Structure 1
Protein backbone atom coordinates (compact mmCIF):
# COMPACT_ATOMS: atom_id res chain seq x y z
CA UNK A 1 0.00 0.00 0.00
CA UNK A 2 2.89 2.33 0.85
CA UNK A 3 4.35 1.72 -2.61
CA UNK A 4 1.10 2.82 -4.25
CA UNK A 5 1.01 6.10 -2.31
CA UNK A 6 4.67 6.70 -3.15
CA UNK A 7 4.18 6.07 -6.89
CA UNK A 8 1.06 8.24 -7.27
CA UNK A 9 2.79 11.59 -6.49
CA UNK A 10 5.60 10.66 -8.88
CA UNK A 11 3.10 9.95 -11.66
CA UNK A 12 1.34 13.25 -10.97
CA UNK A 13 4.67 15.12 -11.12
CA UNK A 14 5.63 13.46 -14.40
CA UNK A 15 2.26 14.35 -15.95
CA UNK A 16 2.57 17.97 -14.81
CA UNK A 17 6.07 18.28 -16.26
CA UNK A 18 5.04 16.80 -19.59
CA UNK A 19 2.03 19.18 -19.76
CA UNK A 20 4.29 22.19 -19.26
CA UNK A 21 6.59 21.26 -22.12
CA UNK A 22 5.83 23.22 -25.33
CA UNK A 23 4.43 21.28 -28.23
CA UNK A 24 6.83 20.74 -31.10
CA UNK A 25 6.06 23.00 -34.09
CA UNK A 26 3.60 21.51 -36.56
CA UNK A 27 5.00 20.44 -39.90
CA UNK A 28 3.21 23.24 -41.76
CA UNK A 29 3.48 26.84 -42.91
CA UNK A 30 2.91 29.52 -40.28
CA UNK A 31 2.13 33.12 -41.21
CA UNK A 32 3.19 35.98 -38.94
CA UNK A 33 3.23 39.79 -39.14
CA UNK A 34 5.38 42.43 -37.50
CA UNK A 35 2.06 44.12 -36.61
CA UNK A 36 -1.58 43.80 -37.69
CA UNK A 37 -2.91 47.29 -36.88
CA UNK A 38 -1.67 50.79 -37.66
CA UNK A 39 -3.00 54.26 -36.86
CA UNK A 40 -1.95 57.14 -39.16
CA UNK A 41 -3.22 59.66 -36.61
CA UNK A 42 -4.62 62.99 -37.85
CA UNK A 43 -4.28 63.36 -41.63
CA UNK A 44 -5.46 65.76 -44.32
CA UNK A 45 -8.28 64.93 -46.73
CA UNK A 46 -7.37 64.34 -50.36
CA UNK A 47 -3.88 62.88 -49.88
CA UNK A 48 -2.28 59.49 -50.54
CA UNK A 49 -1.05 57.50 -47.53
CA UNK A 50 1.24 54.49 -47.51
CA UNK A 51 2.07 51.88 -44.91
CA UNK A 52 4.09 48.66 -44.93
CA UNK A 53 3.40 45.39 -43.13
CA UNK A 54 6.11 42.73 -42.95
CA UNK A 55 4.98 39.12 -43.44
CA UNK A 56 7.02 36.13 -42.19
CA UNK A 57 6.85 32.38 -42.60
CA UNK A 58 7.58 30.99 -39.12
CA UNK A 59 6.66 27.44 -40.11
CA UNK A 60 8.57 24.45 -41.42
CA UNK A 61 6.88 24.26 -44.83
CA UNK A 62 6.57 26.81 -47.69
CA UNK A 63 3.86 29.43 -47.12
CA UNK A 64 1.58 30.24 -50.06
CA UNK A 65 -0.14 33.62 -49.78
CA UNK A 66 -3.22 33.39 -51.96
CA UNK A 67 -4.37 36.99 -51.91
CA UNK A 68 -4.09 40.37 -50.21
CA UNK A 69 -7.17 42.44 -50.96
CA UNK A 70 -9.51 45.19 -49.82
CA UNK A 71 -13.18 45.66 -50.70
CA UNK A 72 -12.65 49.42 -50.97
CA UNK A 73 -11.10 50.83 -54.14
CA UNK A 74 -9.34 53.58 -52.18
CA UNK A 75 -7.23 50.97 -50.34
CA UNK A 76 -4.73 49.20 -52.61
CA UNK A 77 -2.43 46.45 -51.27
CA UNK A 78 0.65 45.37 -53.23
CA UNK A 79 2.41 42.09 -52.47
CA UNK A 80 5.63 41.45 -54.46
CA UNK A 81 6.09 37.86 -53.30
CA UNK A 82 3.42 35.24 -52.59
CA UNK A 83 5.51 32.11 -51.87
CA UNK A 84 7.69 32.21 -48.76
CA UNK A 85 10.08 29.44 -47.81
CA UNK A 86 10.54 28.70 -44.08
CA UNK A 87 12.27 31.70 -42.47
CA UNK A 88 11.62 34.02 -45.44
CA UNK A 89 9.69 37.29 -45.34
CA UNK A 90 8.15 39.85 -47.68
CA UNK A 91 6.68 43.33 -47.40
CA UNK A 92 3.02 44.16 -48.04
CA UNK A 93 2.62 47.80 -49.09
CA UNK A 94 -0.80 49.42 -48.68
CA UNK A 95 -1.67 52.71 -50.38
CA UNK A 96 -4.74 54.57 -49.16
CA UNK A 97 -6.48 57.60 -50.68
CA UNK A 98 -8.20 59.88 -48.14
CA UNK A 99 -10.26 61.76 -50.75
CA UNK A 100 -13.93 62.23 -49.79
CA UNK A 101 -13.37 60.96 -46.23
CA UNK A 102 -13.59 62.70 -42.89
CA UNK A 103 -13.26 62.09 -39.14
CA UNK A 104 -12.53 58.56 -37.85
CA UNK A 105 -11.98 56.10 -40.71
CA UNK A 106 -10.86 52.46 -40.61
CA UNK A 107 -9.92 50.42 -43.67
CA UNK A 108 -8.97 46.75 -43.74
CA UNK A 109 -6.86 44.44 -45.89
CA UNK A 110 -7.58 40.70 -45.90
CA UNK A 111 -4.61 38.36 -46.31
CA UNK A 112 -5.40 34.71 -47.10
CA UNK A 113 -2.85 31.89 -47.09
CA UNK A 114 -2.44 28.14 -46.63
CA UNK A 115 -1.54 28.48 -42.95
CA UNK A 116 -3.86 25.82 -41.43
CA UNK A 117 -4.25 27.75 -38.16
CA UNK A 118 -4.64 31.27 -39.60
CA UNK A 119 -6.00 30.98 -43.15
CA UNK A 120 -7.28 34.59 -43.03
CA UNK A 121 -5.69 37.57 -41.28
CA UNK A 122 -7.39 40.98 -41.34
CA UNK A 123 -5.03 43.96 -41.17
CA UNK A 124 -6.43 47.27 -39.96
CA UNK A 125 -5.52 50.84 -40.91
CA UNK A 126 -7.16 53.71 -39.04
CA UNK A 127 -6.92 57.49 -39.26
CA UNK A 128 -8.59 60.72 -38.25
CA UNK A 129 -9.25 62.61 -41.49
CA UNK A 130 -9.55 66.39 -41.44
CA UNK A 131 -13.05 67.64 -42.29
CA UNK A 132 -12.94 68.12 -46.05
CA UNK A 133 -15.34 71.06 -45.95
CA UNK A 134 -12.62 73.01 -44.14
CA UNK A 135 -9.84 72.15 -46.58
CA UNK A 136 -11.07 70.57 -49.80
CA UNK A 137 -8.27 70.24 -52.32
CA UNK A 138 -8.89 71.21 -55.93
CA UNK A 139 -8.30 67.65 -57.13
CA UNK A 140 -10.89 66.27 -54.69
CA UNK A 141 -13.94 67.16 -56.76
CA UNK A 142 -17.13 65.15 -56.58
CA UNK A 143 -16.19 63.27 -59.75
CA UNK A 144 -14.02 61.10 -57.50
CA UNK A 145 -17.20 59.33 -56.41
CA UNK A 146 -17.56 57.81 -59.86
CA UNK A 147 -13.86 57.19 -60.53
CA UNK A 148 -12.72 53.58 -60.82
CA UNK A 149 -11.22 53.38 -57.33
CA UNK A 150 -14.33 54.76 -55.60
CA UNK A 151 -17.12 53.39 -57.76
CA UNK A 152 -17.52 50.10 -55.86
CA UNK A 153 -18.38 51.80 -52.56
CA UNK A 154 -20.14 54.91 -53.83
CA UNK A 155 -22.05 53.78 -56.92
CA UNK A 156 -22.27 50.07 -57.72
CA UNK A 157 -24.10 49.11 -54.53
CA UNK A 158 -27.17 51.04 -55.69
CA UNK A 159 -27.49 49.51 -59.15
CA UNK A 160 -31.07 48.31 -59.73
CA UNK A 161 -32.39 49.70 -56.44
CA UNK A 162 -35.11 52.28 -55.78
CA UNK A 163 -36.42 54.46 -52.97
CA UNK A 164 -35.18 53.76 -49.46
CA UNK A 165 -32.83 50.94 -50.53
CA UNK A 166 -31.22 53.16 -53.16
CA UNK A 167 -30.90 56.07 -50.72
CA UNK A 168 -29.21 53.89 -48.10
CA UNK A 169 -26.81 52.44 -50.70
CA UNK A 170 -25.74 55.62 -52.51
CA UNK A 171 -26.76 58.60 -50.37
CA UNK A 172 -26.67 57.68 -46.67
CA UNK A 173 -22.87 57.61 -46.51
CA UNK A 174 -22.85 61.40 -46.93
CA UNK A 175 -26.32 62.52 -45.82
CA UNK A 176 -26.85 60.09 -42.92
CA UNK A 177 -29.03 57.00 -42.54
CA UNK A 178 -31.97 59.16 -41.50
CA UNK A 179 -31.11 61.97 -44.00
CA UNK A 180 -30.43 64.33 -41.09
CA UNK A 181 -27.05 65.24 -42.55
CA UNK A 182 -23.43 64.23 -42.19
CA UNK A 183 -20.74 65.12 -44.70
CA UNK A 184 -23.61 66.39 -46.86
CA UNK A 185 -26.52 68.59 -45.73
CA UNK A 186 -29.74 67.51 -44.04
CA UNK A 187 -32.35 66.41 -46.60
CA UNK A 188 -35.37 66.22 -44.30
CA UNK A 189 -37.30 69.29 -45.44
CA UNK A 190 -40.74 70.52 -46.43
CA UNK A 191 -41.21 68.88 -49.81
CA UNK A 192 -44.68 70.35 -50.19
CA UNK A 193 -42.80 73.29 -51.71
CA UNK A 194 -42.58 72.36 -55.42
CA UNK A 195 -39.55 74.59 -55.96
CA UNK A 196 -37.61 72.83 -53.20
CA UNK A 197 -38.57 69.42 -54.55
CA UNK A 198 -37.44 70.47 -58.03
CA UNK A 199 -34.14 71.79 -56.63
CA UNK A 200 -33.39 68.54 -54.75
CA UNK A 201 -34.17 66.55 -57.91
CA UNK A 202 -31.88 68.76 -60.01
CA UNK A 203 -28.97 68.49 -57.57
CA UNK A 204 -29.41 64.71 -57.24
CA UNK A 205 -29.57 64.31 -61.01
CA UNK A 206 -26.96 66.82 -62.19
CA UNK A 207 -24.89 67.63 -59.10
CA UNK A 208 -24.29 70.88 -57.27
CA UNK A 209 -23.34 73.92 -59.34
CA UNK A 210 -19.74 73.92 -58.16
CA UNK A 211 -19.48 70.09 -58.42
CA UNK A 212 -17.26 70.06 -55.33
CA UNK A 213 -19.09 67.71 -53.00
CA UNK A 214 -22.09 66.47 -54.97
CA UNK A 215 -21.81 64.69 -58.34
CA UNK A 216 -24.63 64.18 -60.82
CA UNK A 217 -26.13 60.70 -60.44
CA UNK A 218 -28.40 60.75 -63.49
CA UNK A 219 -27.21 58.75 -66.51
CA UNK A 220 -27.52 61.88 -68.69
CA UNK A 221 -25.02 63.60 -66.40
CA UNK A 222 -22.57 60.69 -66.50
CA UNK A 223 -23.95 59.00 -63.39
CA UNK A 224 -25.28 55.46 -62.86
CA UNK A 225 -29.00 56.12 -62.26
CA UNK A 226 -32.07 56.21 -64.48
CA UNK A 227 -34.59 59.04 -64.15
CA UNK A 228 -37.03 56.73 -62.33
CA UNK A 229 -34.39 56.00 -59.70
CA UNK A 230 -33.72 59.69 -59.07
CA UNK A 231 -37.50 60.20 -58.81
CA UNK A 232 -37.67 57.41 -56.22
CA UNK A 233 -34.99 59.04 -54.04
CA UNK A 234 -36.82 62.37 -53.94
CA UNK A 235 -40.11 60.58 -53.25
CA UNK A 236 -38.52 58.70 -50.36
CA UNK A 237 -37.15 61.95 -48.91
CA UNK A 238 -40.57 63.60 -49.13
CA UNK A 239 -42.05 60.75 -47.09
CA UNK A 240 -39.44 61.33 -44.39
CA UNK A 241 -40.76 64.87 -43.98
CA UNK A 242 -44.30 63.54 -43.62
CA UNK A 243 -43.20 61.14 -40.85
CA UNK A 244 -41.36 63.86 -38.97
Structure 2
Protein backbone atom coordinates (compact mmCIF):
# COMPACT_ATOMS: atom_id res chain seq x y z
CA UNK A 1 0.00 0.00 0.00
CA UNK A 2 2.94 2.36 0.55
CA UNK A 3 4.68 1.59 -2.74
CA UNK A 4 4.70 4.82 -4.76
CA UNK A 5 3.48 5.29 -8.28
CA UNK A 6 5.67 8.26 -9.18
CA UNK A 7 5.36 10.58 -6.16
CA UNK A 8 2.39 9.11 -4.28
CA UNK A 9 1.90 5.78 -2.51
CA UNK A 10 -0.96 3.57 -3.62
CA UNK A 11 -2.87 4.15 -0.37
CA UNK A 12 -3.02 7.87 -1.11
CA UNK A 13 -4.49 7.26 -4.56
CA UNK A 14 -7.15 5.17 -2.83
CA UNK A 15 -7.94 7.87 -0.28
CA UNK A 16 -8.16 10.51 -3.01
CA UNK A 17 -10.54 8.32 -5.01
CA UNK A 18 -12.77 7.95 -1.96
CA UNK A 19 -12.69 11.71 -1.44
CA UNK A 20 -13.68 12.27 -5.07
CA UNK A 21 -16.85 10.25 -4.32
CA UNK A 22 -17.66 12.45 -1.31
CA UNK A 23 -16.35 10.08 1.35
CA UNK A 24 -14.24 11.59 4.12
CA UNK A 25 -14.31 8.93 6.85
CA UNK A 26 -11.42 6.55 6.19
CA UNK A 27 -11.45 3.27 8.13
CA UNK A 28 -8.11 1.53 7.66
CA UNK A 29 -7.81 -2.21 8.32
CA UNK A 30 -4.10 -2.77 8.76
CA UNK A 31 -1.64 -4.93 10.69
CA UNK A 32 0.98 -4.17 13.32
CA UNK A 33 3.57 -4.34 10.54
CA UNK A 34 2.04 -1.46 8.56
CA UNK A 35 2.59 1.56 10.79
CA UNK A 36 3.88 3.50 7.78
CA UNK A 37 0.30 3.94 6.55
CA UNK A 38 -0.74 5.77 9.70
CA UNK A 39 2.49 7.75 9.76
CA UNK A 40 1.95 8.91 6.18
CA UNK A 41 -1.30 10.71 6.98
CA UNK A 42 -0.21 12.17 10.33
CA UNK A 43 1.50 15.57 10.60
CA UNK A 44 5.27 15.62 11.02
CA UNK A 45 6.36 19.14 11.94
CA UNK A 46 10.09 18.60 11.39
CA UNK A 47 9.61 17.12 7.91
CA UNK A 48 7.05 19.77 6.94
CA UNK A 49 9.30 22.63 8.01
CA UNK A 50 12.14 21.29 5.85
CA UNK A 51 9.87 20.88 2.80
CA UNK A 52 7.82 24.09 3.01
CA UNK A 53 8.93 26.62 0.42
CA UNK A 54 10.77 24.05 -1.69
CA UNK A 55 9.81 22.40 -4.97
CA UNK A 56 8.42 19.49 -2.95
CA UNK A 57 5.84 21.59 -1.08
CA UNK A 58 3.12 20.67 -3.61
CA UNK A 59 3.53 17.03 -2.63
CA UNK A 60 3.14 17.96 1.01
CA UNK A 61 -0.01 19.92 0.18
CA UNK A 62 -1.61 16.81 -1.33
CA UNK A 63 -1.04 14.75 1.80
CA UNK A 64 -2.12 17.55 4.12
CA UNK A 65 -5.30 18.14 2.12
CA UNK A 66 -6.35 14.52 2.71
CA UNK A 67 -5.40 14.72 6.39
CA UNK A 68 -7.35 17.96 6.88
CA UNK A 69 -10.48 16.87 5.00
CA UNK A 70 -10.76 13.30 6.29
CA UNK A 71 -11.11 11.48 9.59
CA UNK A 72 -8.78 8.48 9.76
CA UNK A 73 -9.38 5.54 12.06
CA UNK A 74 -7.37 2.33 12.24
CA UNK A 75 -7.96 -1.22 13.37
CA UNK A 76 -5.57 -4.17 13.21
CA UNK A 77 -6.43 -7.49 11.60
CA UNK A 78 -4.70 -9.99 13.88
CA UNK A 79 -4.58 -12.74 11.28
CA UNK A 80 -4.78 -12.61 7.49
CA UNK A 81 -7.86 -14.78 7.02
CA UNK A 82 -9.24 -13.43 3.76
CA UNK A 83 -10.84 -10.24 2.50
CA UNK A 84 -14.16 -11.11 4.10
CA UNK A 85 -12.45 -11.37 7.47
CA UNK A 86 -10.66 -8.06 6.92
CA UNK A 87 -13.94 -6.32 6.11
CA UNK A 88 -15.62 -7.87 9.16
CA UNK A 89 -12.69 -6.68 11.30
CA UNK A 90 -13.61 -3.14 10.28
CA UNK A 91 -17.15 -3.42 11.64
CA UNK A 92 -16.45 -1.41 14.84
CA UNK A 93 -15.29 1.49 12.66
CA UNK A 94 -18.29 1.36 10.30
CA UNK A 95 -21.33 0.80 12.47
CA UNK A 96 -24.68 0.43 10.73
CA UNK A 97 -23.96 2.49 7.62
CA UNK A 98 -23.33 1.58 3.99
CA UNK A 99 -19.64 1.86 3.11
CA UNK A 100 -17.16 1.49 0.28
CA UNK A 101 -14.16 -0.81 0.14
CA UNK A 102 -11.02 0.12 -1.81
CA UNK A 103 -8.17 -2.33 -2.28
CA UNK A 104 -5.32 0.06 -3.10
CA UNK A 105 -3.27 -2.47 -5.06
CA UNK A 106 -5.99 -2.11 -7.72
CA UNK A 107 -5.11 1.36 -9.01
CA UNK A 108 -7.88 2.84 -11.16
CA UNK A 109 -7.74 5.90 -13.35
CA UNK A 110 -9.87 7.62 -15.97
CA UNK A 111 -10.55 11.01 -17.52
CA UNK A 112 -14.06 11.41 -16.06
CA UNK A 113 -15.65 10.36 -12.79
CA UNK A 114 -13.56 8.07 -10.60
CA UNK A 115 -14.63 4.43 -10.40
CA UNK A 116 -15.98 4.92 -6.89
CA UNK A 117 -17.91 8.02 -7.97
CA UNK A 118 -19.52 6.00 -10.78
CA UNK A 119 -20.43 3.25 -8.32
CA UNK A 120 -21.84 5.75 -5.82
CA UNK A 121 -24.19 7.14 -8.47
CA UNK A 122 -25.40 3.61 -9.23
CA UNK A 123 -25.82 2.87 -5.52
CA UNK A 124 -28.01 5.95 -5.16
CA UNK A 125 -30.37 4.35 -7.70
CA UNK A 126 -30.29 0.99 -5.84
CA UNK A 127 -29.75 1.86 -2.16
CA UNK A 128 -30.58 -1.61 -0.82
CA UNK A 129 -28.00 -3.33 -2.98
CA UNK A 130 -24.31 -4.09 -2.75
CA UNK A 131 -22.32 -2.90 -5.78
CA UNK A 132 -19.18 -4.63 -7.04
CA UNK A 133 -16.90 -3.33 -9.79
CA UNK A 134 -16.13 -5.71 -12.63
CA UNK A 135 -14.07 -5.80 -15.80
CA UNK A 136 -13.50 -8.28 -18.58
CA UNK A 137 -10.30 -10.29 -18.20
CA UNK A 138 -8.77 -13.00 -20.40
CA UNK A 139 -10.27 -16.42 -19.67
CA UNK A 140 -6.75 -17.63 -18.88
CA UNK A 141 -6.68 -15.26 -15.89
CA UNK A 142 -10.09 -15.86 -14.30
CA UNK A 143 -8.49 -18.08 -11.65
CA UNK A 144 -7.06 -14.91 -10.04
CA UNK A 145 -10.48 -13.32 -9.37
CA UNK A 146 -14.00 -13.67 -8.15
CA UNK A 147 -16.11 -14.08 -11.30
CA UNK A 148 -19.78 -13.17 -11.70
CA UNK A 149 -22.66 -14.38 -13.82
CA UNK A 150 -25.71 -12.19 -14.20
CA UNK A 151 -28.26 -10.43 -16.35
CA UNK A 152 -28.08 -6.85 -17.56
CA UNK A 153 -30.39 -4.51 -15.72
CA UNK A 154 -33.20 -3.06 -17.79
CA UNK A 155 -32.07 0.03 -19.74
CA UNK A 156 -28.41 -0.61 -18.89
CA UNK A 157 -25.44 -1.90 -20.82
CA UNK A 158 -22.94 -1.89 -17.94
CA UNK A 159 -24.79 -3.04 -14.79
CA UNK A 160 -25.76 -6.66 -14.07
CA UNK A 161 -27.98 -8.22 -11.45
CA UNK A 162 -25.72 -10.96 -10.13
CA UNK A 163 -27.06 -14.51 -10.23
CA UNK A 164 -23.92 -16.31 -9.12
CA UNK A 165 -20.34 -15.66 -8.07
CA UNK A 166 -17.39 -18.02 -8.10
CA UNK A 167 -14.11 -17.40 -6.29
CA UNK A 168 -11.03 -18.06 -8.47
CA UNK A 169 -12.56 -20.63 -10.83
CA UNK A 170 -10.61 -22.52 -13.44
CA UNK A 171 -11.24 -21.34 -17.02
CA UNK A 172 -13.41 -24.43 -17.51
CA UNK A 173 -15.54 -23.63 -14.46
CA UNK A 174 -15.86 -19.86 -14.96
CA UNK A 175 -19.39 -18.78 -15.99
CA UNK A 176 -18.05 -15.60 -17.67
CA UNK A 177 -14.88 -13.54 -17.90
CA UNK A 178 -16.41 -10.72 -15.82
CA UNK A 179 -14.01 -10.42 -12.87
CA UNK A 180 -14.52 -8.51 -9.62
CA UNK A 181 -11.83 -5.93 -8.89
CA UNK A 182 -11.00 -4.12 -5.66
CA UNK A 183 -13.94 -1.70 -5.45
CA UNK A 184 -17.12 -2.45 -3.50
CA UNK A 185 -20.04 -0.58 -2.02
CA UNK A 186 -21.56 -2.72 0.72
CA UNK A 187 -24.66 -2.43 2.86
CA UNK A 188 -24.30 -3.03 6.63
CA UNK A 189 -26.23 -6.27 6.12
CA UNK A 190 -22.97 -7.76 4.89
CA UNK A 191 -21.63 -7.93 8.47
CA UNK A 192 -24.38 -10.33 9.56
CA UNK A 193 -23.73 -12.47 6.51
CA UNK A 194 -19.97 -12.51 7.09
CA UNK A 195 -20.52 -13.58 10.68
CA UNK A 196 -22.13 -16.79 9.46
CA UNK A 197 -19.98 -17.36 6.35
CA UNK A 198 -17.89 -20.50 6.62
CA UNK A 199 -14.16 -20.36 5.82
CA UNK A 200 -13.03 -21.82 2.51
CA UNK A 201 -10.68 -24.77 2.11
CA UNK A 202 -7.73 -22.49 2.93
CA UNK A 203 -9.33 -21.30 6.15
CA UNK A 204 -10.15 -17.86 4.72
CA UNK A 205 -13.47 -16.02 4.78
CA UNK A 206 -14.16 -14.77 1.27
CA UNK A 207 -16.26 -11.69 0.57
CA UNK A 208 -17.36 -13.46 -2.64
CA UNK A 209 -19.06 -16.19 -0.59
CA UNK A 210 -20.85 -13.63 1.58
CA UNK A 211 -21.98 -11.63 -1.45
CA UNK A 212 -23.28 -14.82 -3.04
CA UNK A 213 -25.67 -15.17 -0.11
CA UNK A 214 -27.06 -11.71 -0.86
CA UNK A 215 -27.02 -12.33 -4.62
CA UNK A 216 -29.47 -15.19 -4.11
CA UNK A 217 -31.84 -12.55 -2.73
CA UNK A 218 -31.24 -10.29 -5.74
CA UNK A 219 -29.28 -7.76 -3.68
CA UNK A 220 -25.99 -7.57 -5.60
CA UNK A 221 -25.27 -5.52 -8.72
CA UNK A 222 -22.06 -5.80 -10.71
CA UNK A 223 -20.94 -2.65 -12.51
CA UNK A 224 -18.65 -2.63 -15.55
CA UNK A 225 -16.86 0.62 -14.80
CA UNK A 226 -15.42 3.21 -17.15
CA UNK A 227 -11.67 3.59 -16.78
CA UNK A 228 -8.47 1.59 -16.58
CA UNK A 229 -7.26 -0.64 -13.78
CA UNK A 230 -3.65 -1.51 -12.98
CA UNK A 231 -2.92 -4.60 -10.89
CA UNK A 232 -0.20 -3.13 -8.69
CA UNK A 233 -0.21 -6.26 -6.55
CA UNK A 234 1.98 -7.83 -9.23
CA UNK A 235 5.44 -6.69 -10.31
CA UNK A 236 4.35 -6.47 -13.95
CA UNK A 237 1.24 -4.44 -13.12
CA UNK A 238 3.23 -2.10 -10.88
CA UNK A 239 5.75 -1.41 -13.65
CA UNK A 240 3.00 -0.92 -16.24
CA UNK A 241 1.20 1.54 -13.95
CA UNK A 242 4.39 3.49 -13.27
CA UNK A 243 5.14 3.80 -16.99
CA UNK A 244 1.55 4.77 -17.83
CA UNK A 245 1.45 7.52 -15.18
CA UNK A 246 4.91 8.73 -16.22
CA UNK A 247 3.72 9.11 -19.82
CA UNK A 248 0.66 11.08 -18.73
CA UNK A 249 2.88 13.39 -16.69
CA UNK A 250 5.29 13.80 -19.59
CA UNK A 251 8.17 12.22 -17.70
CA UNK A 252 8.86 9.62 -20.41
Instruction: Please give the range of the TM-score, normalised by the shorter of the 2 chains.
Output: under 0.3
Larger Rg: 1
TM-score normalised by the chain length of structure 2: 0.26
After TM superposition, the score normalised by the length of structure 1 is 0.26
More helix by percentage: 2
Which of the pair has the greater relative contact order for Cα pairs under 8 Å at 6+ separation? 2
